[in-house]
Structure 1
């Protein structure tokens, strides 16, 4: 690659005197139709955005029109002052802060100037908030596709600066994929509309010989010189939003100058207006939330989900949920989360609820399809966690009543005790030392799975097991961790379970196959007892097992992490032995309409 003769970047001259802020303020007040704010309070307010960064601006201009903003840029240029455009202030990396004249577009420059329903486009000023735009467009049945998490506050200009995408990127792509044209202003005062440029249009621009022609000529030379390198080295990542979009200049992308400028963060041009490409509003939506034990496994599942064409896909880990809990945000939504420490929110859409639900059921059926060959060959699926196992034995049949593989799954899903007592000829369990245990039977064992096989297996292992008549332990999935439920949860546990444990000898084992039951026993005063799973109790009697113990467990999670793991039960059995490469977690349909 050789050097390319490009214009020098606009920089402050070495040794240039500082900007005369007082004279600049006076000139702006005299020439700009808008609010000019150079007071200390305004400068402090505009020194931050949604990040931890802080840079105090020279001053702030709130233009009433795009033309007023262009005049503000002209005044700033005369004084050698940098200019920064600011939208909703939602940036997370300091993009909305600089020692510059800050143009706040959001107060006045927020109009929808035109809508072309037939072409599915609209022209807007950069200060309009995304949700406001989509509300304005609602009667047309159209909307702007990209939807960042800050859609209630972010402006279209800010989205153009960031090349935003959000959860809907799977269906509608990034902002660069949804821009028809931009009206832009260079720092030197050059102003023009830009977008995709055919060879004929380029020739016409170049013939003019003006500053715009010089810009296009330099960009064309950059493309010709580095085009092959751009194709070879630009990351092929659907949500690549960092750096300049040099690939927009390639012939296969139509020499799209607007595409190049999207994501440039106010470093190249000031955007005065934007012509946006719109998409039809999806009439009905269904949300499926998938739970995973680790965030990397959630990421690994994405390629398997994409063929089902989700309209939105977003990942959330336990740290974000923890922070929301600490701030008491969205308690009802958090209570709907499935079991896990990382989550994928997968949204499907259609013209009717049935269309959207059908797409959701397709992904729910994926687990069954994965198990189909094993099931058709007569294989068993072993579940260790009662709530997850109960879904395969009961709920799955209600979701897919006519599916023969689901029927096989229901009939061929067994508990550990059923596997060892009914499907393992010749198996004899090891004799368990201590030989006395109290059993807290999980609610799903009571209601769906039964406990007779567990009782028989314990008898064969020489364990004198007493089944507590305690009913629900009180945690009830996520119930006990929700605000206002502590006393009810404790009262349930104090009715039978906890008093019985406190009066029981330390040598007596406490059995609880349910994670929620074990958590409740750990959290409250159980006389020093810790509950173990049936598998742990049997493993303690195997050769080489630690004396007087059940092996080493990972450190228990904190209260918030436990709440996450208890937030629901599983549609797919996470404890399926050796059948899936990744443990599948609960998938639950949550009706959560998005704006």
Structure 2
């Protein structure tokens, strides 16, 4: 154990505490404190330091209701950077807030001083000992990264919050996180063996459990460490009765400081006493944690109840069945899923209004019997409506995902209204959960509030997001009144204000209602021993910030009057409300693709500014006009959006539907209005029009783009030098189609084939294949009159005025066919998605645009859902599929999977996210490296590894281009795969629909 002291100069504690209060920075005069702090940190060798307005805006909020703009943000890379940051801040009298993934729901990951983000670089796995079952990590490591390393040895870390794909171990230690499986494996505190920490005064300590002899020996040394241990030992000895009777009474008593671990029977465990301290006592340098062996098999049992209160009542009678997890959710949450996620298959649950998800673990042959016994036991509980044993692991994962996404999903109630954290984490002893929930429901009704309930029922911990109104003085006062009464209600049930998320600003002011003055005095003494200067995360737990202060949405701030082109109906036409959809749960910070797309650039850079959350937060701050002061002209916002691929993945994968692609189009429209745009906005934004010119002399254009003039042409067009310009086809599809004789008998009637600019000018064989397939299926193929365009390239580059004119012309041209009942089939997913979603937004209220959106289908959707009796050709082959991002976000891949299955194709859908090219993005100068890195995560290696006879399916022109330019393979469109097989299977009248 080591100890070092940091100089004789000490900051004034009152000054440090004052900086945690609103407007403290501005009160310090005109010398720009943020600039001075940034300069000092940069000189002090603290790692990567940022004090610009954009970075400070990104870190002004976490996943809570609160907002504090920091003076600077630091990304330490090494241990010395952490120590140096603390030294500089102590010298300046500036407070420090340690931050992991920023998913804290209580406001403890934000601060008005320096925010130290440990997640980006200070995140290594230092050691893993499979025999001892331990791992030593830096605090910034993401839980899933630790789990992957542990899984190689058949081990795991027991606590598993729903944010496991992005939360850090340091954050879990700060909040004493639990997760769904704490019934079996305990909280983070029970799984921490040793911590290495540094105090605000620079003392470095290694903490763990200590015997009396070790305590005496440590005190005898007489250094800073000795003084700290002696003070803590005296505090414990003088308050043994209080520590034994008031603290650690049930597993989810997380509120306050865990002083019970100072008891001699708990071996004076300073490491566990530090867990749950929310960064207020010391900064973690490393942690050694316990790993456990998971059971060989698991089974999910879903139990239905007439309501959430009945489900809560049933909990005590089920806990004796050796459960791994016992989670609860009510129908309000599943109603939200049904409303917001039209593409997700909502699995049929037992008929009920609330459910318990019980998980069993053990030997596979024993699980069926144990599951039946559990269902039988549930059958004896009041309000039970039925149970189901889920044996399909894929379905079980889908069901668990509803629970995991609860924190995001519950922020929009079934009617679309906003709901907020603030009272989402209280816990009571499980035997009192039903009583507490009933009285909480009555309290909500008295305050005319609503929320969707879910949580860790097996340990008495409830989560609920509530429709507080923070936009008015009356609503804010109502919020304060409600949480105060709710705190008293929890205390009356012997519970804890926090069951795993910590107190933060959301509950610290309410702690006296739970603990009373004597325990609160102990908490203050504990804080003063560790941090007498109050330099670490002030305002949390003791000397608290007000529960209704620093609110992110406040009646005291007037947003800028920003008029938008797009309607934003889901957010009442309010751009600020649209951007504040981001509640900070951070699912966009997941580094590894898991069947979703969001967020490709973050997965490459691992930088908050490139996440969906970072961009949404910056846009929200732009609407407030305080940190980002120049509105639509903001260069900070422009730069943060630069690496957004406009993939639309976030619109589907974000639990609250944040749609940065749409926000980006709106922003770029205003940012460049009446200004010179980047060259790529002209070269690629106007590509459909330029392609028509090139189509008149394709060979000349191809010769130029492949000649020695190519570098100059690329520079003029803002195109990356590394990119090969795609070659124009010698003959467009439209020229071919209008010169041909229709095939087949067209007995199913007419269908409009949407002729997109990409396939028409570059890969007409795709559209030709589409014609062959449609005619074989019995359709008479028509194409739109003239030359139409969906306007996609103008939309993605923010040229919304032109895009709207193009959209109106397209909707008008197709209106007669749509009114006649003709389906419109698109083969390019990005254009099909534009017709489905973007045109109705651009032409808000236009009936022709809405009708066109309803009539637009993918090829697979038409053949699977609307072509009764048609038999696709049998194709005995293997394939891998890359789902286009826009298709993922709008229609999904289920119809394609069904069609491939019907054809007998052995297909695997790549879990790859975005291909990285994403229309104009991957061609633009400055984007090449990110574009390629995104493709190299999964797609491109998978293509290279595929057997030569495996078909690489990619419907998107961008996806096929990335594959062609970065591998020695070529992508195949689904239409081409079918058309090739049809050449050996001529049309047969037997394929016609039977007569009615």
TM-score bracket, shorter-length normalisation: 0.5 to 0.7
| 2:157 is the alignment partner of 1:144 | yes
Cα distance in 1 for residues equivalent to 2:342 and 2:169: 27
Match of 2:247 among 234, 253, 260: 234
**1:230-309 aligned within 5 A:** 230-234=243-247, 236-309=249-322
The alpha-carbon deviation at position 153 of structure 1 amounts to 1.2
- Tell me the equivalent position of 1:510: none
Match of 2:355 among 343, 356, 367: 343
**Bigger Rg, structure 1 or 2:** 1
User: SS state of the match for residue 193, structure 1?
Assistant: strand
- Tell me the equivalent position of 2:329: 316
Cα distance in 2 for residues equivalent to 1:90 and 1:127: 13
Match of 1:46 among 56, 59, 65: 59
User: Are residues 92 and 325 of structure 1, via their aligned partners in 2, closer, same or farther at CA, if it must alter by over 3 Å?
Assistant: farther
The alpha-carbon deviation at position 138 of structure 1 amounts to 1.1
Cα distance in 2 for residues equivalent to 1:44 and 1:150: 23
Cα distance in 2 for residues equivalent to 1:13 and 1:357: 59
The alpha-carbon deviation at position 15 of structure 1 amounts to 8.4
Match of 2:376 among 359, 362, 365: 365
Structure 1 stretches of 5 or more lacking a match? Answer: 1-7, 372-382, 397-595
Q: Judging by fraction of residues, say which structure has more helix.
A: 2
**Conserved? CA contact 2:304–2:351, under 8 Å:** yes
The alpha-carbon deviation at position 291 of structure 1 amounts to 1.3
Match of 2:98 among 85, 100, 123: 85
**Conserved? CA contact 1:348–1:357, under 8 Å:** no
Cα distance in 2 for residues equivalent to 1:367 and 1:271: 44
Q: Judging by fraction of residues, say which structure has more strand.
A: 1
**Conserved? CA contact 2:71–2:112, under 8 Å:** yes
Aligned length: 370
| 2:133 is the alignment partner of 1:120 | yes
| 2:120 is the alignment partner of 1:107 | yes
**Conserved? CA contact 1:349–1:355, under 8 Å:** no
Cα distance in 2 for residues equivalent to 1:104 and 1:336: 42
Structure 2 stretches of 5 or more lacking a match? Answer: 1-10, 20-26, 390-996
> 1 or 2 for the larger relative contact order (CA 8 Å, sep ≥6)?
1
Cα distance in 2 for residues equivalent to 1:150 and 1:106: 14
- Tell me the equivalent position of 1:72: 85
The alpha-carbon deviation at position 71 of structure 1 amounts to 1.1
The alpha-carbon deviation at position 330 of structure 1 amounts to 8.2
User: SS state of the match for residue 344, structure 1?
Assistant: strand
User: TM (normalized to structure 2)?
Assistant: 0.36
| 2:197 is the alignment partner of 1:184 | yes
Deviations 1:144-178 (A, max 9, x none): 10011111111000000010001101001100000
Deviations 1:480-532 (A, max 9, x none): xxxxxxxxxxxxxxxxxxxxxxxxxxxxxxxxxxxxxxxxxxxxxxxxxxxxx
Cα distance in 2 for residues equivalent to 1:25 and 1:157: 24
User: Are residues 345 and 14 of structure 1, via their aligned partners in 2, closer, same or farther at CA, if it must alter by over 3 Å?
Assistant: closer
The alpha-carbon deviation at position 117 of structure 1 amounts to 1.5
User: Are residues 186 and 362 of structure 1, via their aligned partners in 2, closer, same or farther at CA, if it must alter by over 3 Å?
Assistant: same
Match of 2:15 among 9, 12, 16: 12
**Conserved? CA contact 1:196–1:258, under 8 Å:** yes
**Conserved? CA contact 2:303–2:375, under 8 Å:** no
User: Are residues 15 and 126 of structure 1, via their aligned partners in 2, closer, same or farther at CA, if it must alter by over 3 Å?
Assistant: closer
User: SS state of the match for residue 142, structure 1?
Assistant: coil
**Conserved? CA contact 1:122–1:278, under 8 Å:** yes
Q: C-alpha root-mean-square deviation of aligned residues, in Å? A: 2.7
**Conserved? CA contact 1:32–1:63, under 8 Å:** no
| 2:175 is the alignment partner of 1:200 | no
- Tell me the equivalent position of 1:573: none
**Conserved? CA contact 2:314–2:378, under 8 Å:** no
Cα distance in 2 for residues equivalent to 1:81 and 1:174: 32
Cα distance in 2 for residues equivalent to 1:317 and 1:60: 40
**Conserved? CA contact 1:32–1:69, under 8 Å:** no
The alpha-carbon deviation at position 89 of structure 1 amounts to 1.0
Cα distance in 2 for residues equivalent to 1:139 and 1:205: 38
- Structure 1 segments, 4+ long, off by >6 Å, are 13-17, 368-371
The alpha-carbon deviation at position 111 of structure 1 amounts to 0.8
